[in-house]
């Protein structure tokens, strides 16, 4: 069988074989390919002369190409003094294929044009667009709505979503000179960068939706937003690293938030597929309590958590945008992670939580 096409991914190479034949394609981890280089066999005995422990787990090939006769794959790993490339015959790849025709979940989406609309070009009432889009994509950005937050609350309220107050108050004024909220000792009221998180994971029922309504953007591009579809990221992780996914969905962690006049503790897995109402992610590096697990299980949990964190922190997996005055973002806090970059000077966003119950 010949090799028709190759498709490099971060962690593996997908090899497409002759069209119309089976399998159509097979996936091979880069480290598996590196470990199985024919160059690392003794020329007389053909036994392996390199143990996988001597090789990196994330080799970075210099070049990957299909041989001229399409019957093999040539990979230059860039780590040989003699400059030789490793050759993998297509028949050998087929014989040893361990992921033939594997389904592969797509990475979390990042195309802002699919989730941003202009307020002047809506085809149905704004509240309905909000509710329908939230159910489909988990977030919506509306450009040019205007500055009236109460009018926006009314429009969203018409679709059955009610404002829920929190320990900050009914509306949060996210600005460094906040004078309107209770419990202002939190990162949201500073000009610091805030990496990806969900809001209030320490509550039994975290607020379902958050509206962020821009009144005044920061100058010079600071305070930009990033939002990640954590449900898509969870499926992506499950396909890449099932044990890591299982740890994040089964091992409970503790979230602990203590402020001057507020304290909550909650224990839950990071990825909760059994929560009432469906999937719920709780994810907040700044309120994660010291993790407590049996000694022999601690490393595995940290590896799983860090792998997920690297996945969602990868900017290719994020919706990234800047809100201007009059724009707003609304996202599903049970499904999406959100972040903002640092800024200097003044910036003012109004934050409002909604839920399907009053």
The binding site for Fe ion (CB under 5 A) comprises 199
Contact 175, 346 (CB under 8 A): yes
User: In this complex, which beta carbon is closest to Fe ion, that of residue 107 or of residue 207?
Assistant: 207
User: In this complex, which beta carbon is closest to Fe ion, that of residue 12 or of residue 283?
Assistant: 283
Q: 272 forms bridges with which residues in the sheet?
A: 280
Residues 6+ apart with CB under 8 A from 249: 234, 269, 270, 271, 272, 273
User: In this complex, which beta carbon is closest to Fe ion, that of residue 52 or of residue 322?
Assistant: 322
Cα–Cα dist 29/31, whole Å: 5
Give phi and psi for 93, each to the nearest 5: -60, -40
User: In this complex, which beta carbon is closest to Fe ion, that of residue 301 or of residue 328?
Assistant: 328
Query: Coil, strand or helix: which one is 248?
Result: helix
Minimum CB separation of residue 222 from Fe ion in Å reads: 17
Measured CA distances, 314 to 110, 153, 168, 229, 248 (Å): 11, 33, 31, 12, 19
Minimum CB separation of residue 263 from Fe ion in Å reads: 19
Minimum CB separation of residue 210 from Fe ion in Å reads: 7
Minimum CB separation of residue 337 from Fe ion in Å reads: 9
Minimum CB separation of residue 199 from Fe ion in Å reads: 4
Cα–Cα dist 195/154, whole Å: 31
User: In this complex, which beta carbon is closest to Fe ion, that of residue 72 or of residue 270?
Assistant: 270
Minimum CB separation of residue 96 from Fe ion in Å reads: 47
Minimum CB separation of residue 200 from Fe ion in Å reads: 8
User: In this complex, which beta carbon is closest to Fe ion, that of residue 273 or of residue 285?
Assistant: 285
Q: Give the E-state strand segments of 70-124 in sequence order.
A: 72-76, 86-89, 116-118
Cα–Cα dist 152/146, whole Å: 9
Minimum CB separation of residue 333 from Fe ion in Å reads: 8
Cα–Cα dist 105/239, whole Å: 6
User: In this complex, which beta carbon is closest to Fe ion, that of residue 199 or of residue 272?
Assistant: 199
Cα–Cα dist 83/74, whole Å: 12
Using a CB cutoff of 8 Å and minimum separation of 24, what contacts does 184-187 make?
185/259, 185/260, 186/259, 187/286
Minimum CB separation of residue 219 from Fe ion in Å reads: 22
Q: Give the E-state strand segments of 12-124 in sequence order.
A: 12-17, 25-29, 63-66, 72-76, 86-89, 116-118
- Asked if the peptide bond before residue 23 counts as cis, ω within 30 degrees of 0, the response is yes
Which residue's Cβ has the minimum distance to Fe ion?
199
User: In this complex, which beta carbon is closest to Fe ion, that of residue 173 or of residue 199?
Assistant: 199
User: In this complex, which beta carbon is closest to Fe ion, that of residue 199 or of residue 229?
Assistant: 199
């Amino acid at each position: 069988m010949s090799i028709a096409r190759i498709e490099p991914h971060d962690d593996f190479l997908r090899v497409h074989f002759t069209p119309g034949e089976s399998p159509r394609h097979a996936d091979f981890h880069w480290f598996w390919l590196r470990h199985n280089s024919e160059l690392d066999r003794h020329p007389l005995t053909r036994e392996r002369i390199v143990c996988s422990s001597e090789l990196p787990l994330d080799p970075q090939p210099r070049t990957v190409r299909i041989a001229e006769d399409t019957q093999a794959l040539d990979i230059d790993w860039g780590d040989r003094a003699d400059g030789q490339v490793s050759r993998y015959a297509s028949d050998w790849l087929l014989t040893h294929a361990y992921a033939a025709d594997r389904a592969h979940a797509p990475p979390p989406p990042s195309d802002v044009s699919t989730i941003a609309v202009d307020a002047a070009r809506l085809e149905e009432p704004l509240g309905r667009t909000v509710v329908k889009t939230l159910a489909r994509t988990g977030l919506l950005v509306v450009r040019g709505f205007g500055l009236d937050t109460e009018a926006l609350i009314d429009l969203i309220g018409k679709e059955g979503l009610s404002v829920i107050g929190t320990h900050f108050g009914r509306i949060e004024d996210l600005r460094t000179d906040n004078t309107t909220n209770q419990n202002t000792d939190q990162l949201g009221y500073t000009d610091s960068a805030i990496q990806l998180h969900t809001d209030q994971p320490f509550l039994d029922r975290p607020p379902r939706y958050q509206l962020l309504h821009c009144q005044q953007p920061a100058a010079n591009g600071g305070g930009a937003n990033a939002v990640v579809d954590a449900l898509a990221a969870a499926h992506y992780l499950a396909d890449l690293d099932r044990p890591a996914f299982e740890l994040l969905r089964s091992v409970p962690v503790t979230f602990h938030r203590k402020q001057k006049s507020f304290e909550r503790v909650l224990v839950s897995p990071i990825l909760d597929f059994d929560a009432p109402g469906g999937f719920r992610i709780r994810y907040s590096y700044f309120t994660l309590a010291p993790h407590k697990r049996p000694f022999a299980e601690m490393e595995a949990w940290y590896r799983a958590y860090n792998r997920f964190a690297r996945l969602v922190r990868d900017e290719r997996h994020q919706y990234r945008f800047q809100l201007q005055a009059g724009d707003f973002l609304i996202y599903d806090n049970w499904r999406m992670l959100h972040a903002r970059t640092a800024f200097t000077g003044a910036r003012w966003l109004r934050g409002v939580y909604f839920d399907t119950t009053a």
